[in-house]
Chain A
Amino acid sequence: MTDTPANSVDATLRALLADILGLGDARAAALTEDSGLFGELPEFDSMAVATVLTEMEDRLGIIIDDDEIDGEIFETYGNLLAFSLRKVTD
């Protein structure tokens, strides 16, 4: 895998979800675009959502305005990745 910005955002996001949800490397690596997050993973509660947002800001060097957040972003891993990529390239 070449080290494009997209790959590095993807890797950062997987590591962050592994840290917060305690997924372990194997489960984090196995996440696909369609993998469900909020409502699907029992660990993904409202506190975890909040922690994910703050860690995304710290690790991706972005600022997330809470007006931008709706339920859809956390529906699937693909949605969260697309949102992150958009923020990083903004």
Chain B
Amino acid sequence: MGEHHLRIEPAGAPRATILIVPPLFEEANRTRHTLVLAMRALAARGFSAVMPDLPGQNESLVALEDVDLAGWQAALAEAAAIIDGPLLVASVRGGCLIDHSIKAAGWWRLAPVGGSSLLRTLLRARASADREAGVTSALESLTETAKSEPLLLAGNRLSPAMIAQLGDAEAQPVEPLRSVALGAGGITGTPLWLRAEPGEDAAMAQAIAADIANWSASCGAI
């Protein structure tokens, strides 16, 4: 897709490639360090781990307001198509909304979130910042404006298409799938994607890598 990606290789020939689909917008920054630690831990277990930049995010030259969820889905499918050997997808939070067009042997999802919840938080951040600046902006009027022009939400200039698609987006069924939450029976760790200040959780990164490795061995996908 012409975007940068971060790739961490194991010492020998990889067992499979894990394509990491990060959370969206600010949540991607808050989790990146821990996800990269998880990629290192996957490489130590013999996997190749790849995390692509989504168009309009990180080092991308594309303007964010020129992309939408459909474009992100296509870009991920394109990035996956050039990867040799068995491929598993590991997506986190909003990443789970755009991972289903990828041709993969299996999907692993951590704490999937509905697009409407992400959008509501972004709209509220805008309303809250406006309130601080002495401007009253109701969610309804912001939503109405977003139908015809790009809207600046918490530093992200989002197109009408992006906002409309985000409002309706749910994680789509894929097979085989392991969907895990934080807590008992899932991944022990902290919801870093909510954190106001960037943090890291090295133990959680290890738990993510271990869960993906165990699942890849048991699901028969690779």
Contacts and interface: CB of A to CB of B under 8 A. Distances in A.
| A and B form one complex | yes
Contacts of B132: 46
A71 B131 CA distance: 8
B11 interface: no
B62 to A, nearest CB: 24
A6 interface: no
Contacts, number: 59
B121 A43 contact: no
A49 to B, nearest CB: 5
A12 interface: no
A43 B196 contact: yes
Contacts of B139: 66
B84 to A, nearest CB: 39
Name the interface size band of chain B: 20 to 34
Contacts of A53: 121, 124
Contact of A46 (B117, B128, B190): B128
A50 to B, nearest CB: 4
B201 to A, nearest CB: 11
A45 B131 contact: no
Interface string A41-81: 00111111111011100100000001100010000000000
B196 A48 contact: yes
A47 B26 contact: yes
A82 B60 CA distance: 45
B124 A45 contact: no
B103 interface: no
Interface in B91-141: 117, 120-125, 127-129, 131-132, 138-139
A14 to B, nearest CB: 14
Contact of B121 (A22, A54, A71): A54
B147 interface: no
A22 B196 contact: yes
A22 B199 contact: yes
Contact of A43 (B127, B131, B197): B197
Contact of A22 (B26, B131, B154, B197): B197
A52 B121 CA distance: 9
Given A66-B138, A67-B138, A49 B125 contact: yes
A21 interface: yes
A50 B121 contact: yes
A28 interface: no
B42 to A, nearest CB: 25
Contact of A49 (B117, B123, B124, B195): B124
Contacts of A51: 121, 125, 194, 196
A45 B132 CA distance: 10
Nearest to B124: A50
A85 interface: no
Interface of A: 19-22, 43-51, 53-55, 58, 66-67, 71
